[in-house]
């Protein structure tokens, strides 16, 4: 894919959000360019997930607007361009009777019209996505029988199956074994460098994010900083990776 680093994929303009009287986000503005690898960091409860949900249209901001691929979110239709790897632990039933292949196939559904059958070509794309994350040989296993790291790979395969241009990941390493972190981040690196997929990674693992991401957005109700990892580390030397063991 031809990557144009000046092209805006996501534009966040002056977004504010509150739960009742509790302001969660205030006047957040930034852009995400094609081919970016953006790490969104901040303490727990800083509004990172809320911001992500606003960018994906799952929550409506009180103020401000979001453009996706240059189109206002309310008019955006090309959802197949967007991959989403949700914070798994919160909304996933381990006893759900679906196989790895079924889960990855769900990622294709956005490309099929309503009532349309699954075609051979869709199966081939799903196979490629599962191979990319190294989970093809597990295709007939139930999702609940896998380790946290393996499940997360399947969810990435689900996102890949839609051939997205951008993937949003919310705390993707929460349930992943510490030993597997390096492997996991190298997979993300490959997707960004080789496949040209724009990545937005929410994490409180500051150490990993500053090593991996190209840009850092630090959120604590407001946008505290938006810079490269080097600038970020220079400006905020007091931040220590104390969230590391979460």
Partner 1 sequence: MNIFHYIFILHGLSAGIIVAVIAPLVGIFLVLKHYSLIADTLAHVSLAGIAIGLLTGISPVITSLGATVIASLGVERLRTSKTVYGESALALFLSGSLALAIVLLSLAHGFNTNLLNYLFGSIVTVTIGDVYLILGLAVVVVIVISLFYKELLYITFDEEAAQVAGMPVRKMNTLLIILSALVVSLAIPIVGVLLISALVVIPVVAALQLRKNFVRTILFAEIISIFSVIAGIFISFYFDLSAGGTIVLLMLAIFFIIYIIKHK
Answer for the pair 83, 159: CB distance below 8 angstroms, yes or no: yes
Contact, 217 vs 38, CB < 8 A?
yes
Question: Under DSSP, is residue 165 helix (H, G, I), strand (E, B) or coil?
Answer: coil
Distance CA 125, CA 111 (A): 11
Answer positive or negative: Cα dihedral of 140, 144, 147, 148: positive
Residues in the chain: 246
Pick the closer one to partner 1 by CB: 200 or 206: 200
Q: Interaction with partner 1 in 157-186: which residues (CB under 8 A)?
A: 158, 162
Establish if 20 lies at the interface with partner 1 (CB under 8 A).
no
Question: Is 136 near partner 1 (CB under 8 A)?
Answer: no
Cα-atom radius of gyration of the chain, to the nearest Å?
18
| Residue placing its CB nearer to partner 1 in the complex, 112 or 187 | 112
Q: Is 225 in the site for partner 1 (CB under 8 A)?
A: no
Q: Which of residues 49-108 bind partner 1 (CB under 8 A)?
A: 56-58, 77, 79-80, 82, 84, 86, 91-93, 95-99, 102-103, 106-107
State the CB neighbour count (10 A cutoff) for residue 146.
Answer: 17
Tell which one of 114, 121, 240, 245 touches partner 1 (CB under 8 A): 114
Q: Of 26 and 69, which CB lies nearer to partner 1 in the complex structure?
A: 69
Please identify which residue in 110, 180, 224, 239 interacts with partner 1, judged by CB under 8 A.
Answer: 110
d(CA 232, CA 35): 20
Q: Please report, as ranges, the residues that interact with partner 1 according to CB under 8 A.
A: 56-58, 77, 79-80, 82, 84, 86, 91-93, 95-99, 102-103, 106-107, 109-110, 112, 114-115, 118, 140, 142, 158, 162
């Amino acid at each position: 894919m031809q990557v144009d680093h000046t092209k805006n994929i996501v534009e966040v303009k002056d977004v504010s959000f509150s739960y009742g009287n509790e302001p969660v986000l205030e006047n957040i503005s930034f852009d995400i360019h094609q081919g970016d690898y953006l790490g969104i960091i901040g303490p727990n409860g800083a509004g990172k997930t809320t911001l992500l949900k606003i960018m994906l249209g799952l929550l409506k901001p009180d103020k401000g607007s979001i453009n996706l691929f240059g189109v206002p979110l309310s008019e955006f239709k090309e959802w197949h361009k967007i991959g989403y790897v949700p914070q798994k632990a919160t909304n996933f039933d381990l006893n759900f009777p679906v196989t790895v292949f079924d889960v990855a196939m769900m990622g294709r559904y956005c490309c099929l019209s309503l009532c349309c059958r699954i075609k051979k070509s869709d199966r081939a794309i799903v196979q490629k996505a599962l191979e990319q994350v190294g989970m093809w040989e597990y295709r007939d296993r139930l999702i609940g029988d896998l380790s946290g790291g393996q499940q997360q790979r399947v969810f990435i395969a689900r996102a890949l199956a839609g051939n997205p241009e951008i993937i949003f990941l919310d705390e993707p390493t929460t349930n992943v074994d510490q030993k597997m972190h390096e492997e996991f981040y190298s997979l993300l690196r490959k997707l960004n460098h080789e496949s040209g997929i724009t990545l937005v990674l929410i994490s409180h693992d500051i150490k990993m994010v500053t090593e991996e991401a190209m840009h850092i957005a630090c959120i604590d109700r407001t946008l505290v900083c938006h810079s490269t990892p080097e600038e970020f580390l220079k400006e905020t030397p007091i931040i220590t990776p104390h969230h590391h063991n979460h």
